[in-house]
A and B are shown apart, each in its own frame.
Chain A
Amino acid sequence: MGRTVSALKQAGATALELGFPFSDPIADGPILEAASGRALRHGTAWADLLVASRTASEILPTAVMTYANPVLRRGLESAMKELSTAGVSGLIVPDLSLEESLPWRGAARRSGVALVLLGAPGVSNDRIRRVARASRGFLYLVGRYGTTGASAAGTSVDLAPLVAAAHAASPDLPVLIGFGVRDRPSARRALRTGADGVVVGSALEQRIQRDPSPGSISRWLRAIVGARPDRLRNGQR
């Protein structure tokens, strides 16, 4: 775990999204769904998440991604405190809508965890502004209609207006695009919208399955990092 995260850091990752498995991951495509299932069959528990978070967060700023129920089962306040104590900087909950997020935002603020909200194509500019103002750490912008994953399923859309609306509403909040970003061309496309970065998940999971060595992971990520905005646009943001 530590070696993988270090390899990612050396190859240019600026932060880590660490997934805690859930039995019913409705926002995830086949790759992360299968990964979730494998982790649960191996008995992955909340305590393991805290251990992994401690290791990871010493190397890279770490945000935990999981669904609403494991956090609620723990209790909002205690879950946030435990994550914070384990060094976690952010929490991403793909089935937490703006409407349900109020008590979550309070608990996260009290523990010093950034609650990252998600934006998506198809929502109004007004809504993306409200989401951007409520989100902490960064805004996670879903890059297309569809679940996570590297497959061609799902349609891409023009995200530039949403990115601009989010930046206007919350100028200091970075906008990161995820879902369907898998390689250099897709990362470059995502960054052309004016976004500040990308999140890559399923493609990394696939890479780890094929060859989990730090060298392999590092080579894979370097190819994608070549698309970073500071290289593309001399760091405008």
Chain B
Amino acid sequence: MSEKNELSFEENMNKLEEIVEKLESGDVPLEKAIQYYHEGMKLSKICSDKLTNVESQMKQILNEHGEFESFDVQEDE
């Protein structure tokens, strides 16, 4: 599993959305806008990382001894 993040992907996405909307609303002072932008880009990166680091997830199956072992889908049958 990837390292624990405080917020879930969805929560990060929602925060990102909020920031985008704030920025788009237009009445944000420039300094604040830049601050929002940095924050937004950070969130974007967190989300992007979450989406990019996708390969390493475990697929496991409970065996007859009550233990999990890795599981691969058998393509045939």
The answer to whether A binds B is no
User: Using a CB–CB distance below 8 Å, which chain A residues touch chain B?
Assistant: none
